[in-house]
Each structure stands twice: as structure tokens, then as C-alpha cells.
């Protein structure tokens, strides 16, 4: 089940990436729901995903421990 939540989170983040505020809200939700090792994976995925999307770069600060 936790793996499904990780995949769902990635899907949601992709769909809301057009709006920085919405993206941040969904990212904060993910931080509450995902396991620590999934957050590490999400951090890696997010770093790759936001390349070419400079408006989302600020959202990386929410994932830093």
C-alpha cells in the first residue's frame, strides 16, 4: 500500500505542476503521508522533474530535512 501512495503522489504532483501554490500544498500533504525512504525517492524524482520548470524550484526547500 505505501508504494501505491508514492506513485499516486507523483501522479498528483505532475498534474498540478501548472500551479506553484497547488504543487506546494500537494507536496506538503505528501510529506505527511509518505514513509522516510519514500520521501528520499520523491526528493530525487522531484529534482529531475523540476528541471526546466524554474517556478517549481522553490518547492525543493520543503523537502529538505
Instruction: Label residue 57 by pLDDT band (50, 70, 90).
Output: confident
pLDDT exceeds cutoff 80 at 2: no
pLDDT at 52: 86
pTM over 0.95, yes/no: no
Grid cell for residue 39: 520521501
27, 2 Cβ separation under 8 angstroms: no
Q: Is the pLDDT of residue 63 over 80?
A: no
**What's the pLDDT at 49?**
93
More confident residue, 28 or 61: 28
Look at residue 28 and tell me whether its pLDDT is greater than 60.
Answer: yes
Distance of alpha carbon 62 from alpha carbon 65, whole angstroms: 8
Amino acid at each position: 500500500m505505501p508504494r501505491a501512495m508514492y506513485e499516486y503522489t507523483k501522479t498528483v504532483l505532475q498534474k498540478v505542476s501548472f500551479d506553484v501554490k497547488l504543487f506546494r500544498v500537494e507536496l506538503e500533504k505528501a510529506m505527511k503521508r509518505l514513509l522516510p525512504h519514500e520521501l528520499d525517492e520523491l526528493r530525487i524524482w522531484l529534482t529531475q522533474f523540476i528541471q526546466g520548470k524554474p517556478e517549481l524550484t522553490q518547492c525543493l526547500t520543503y523537502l529538505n530535512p
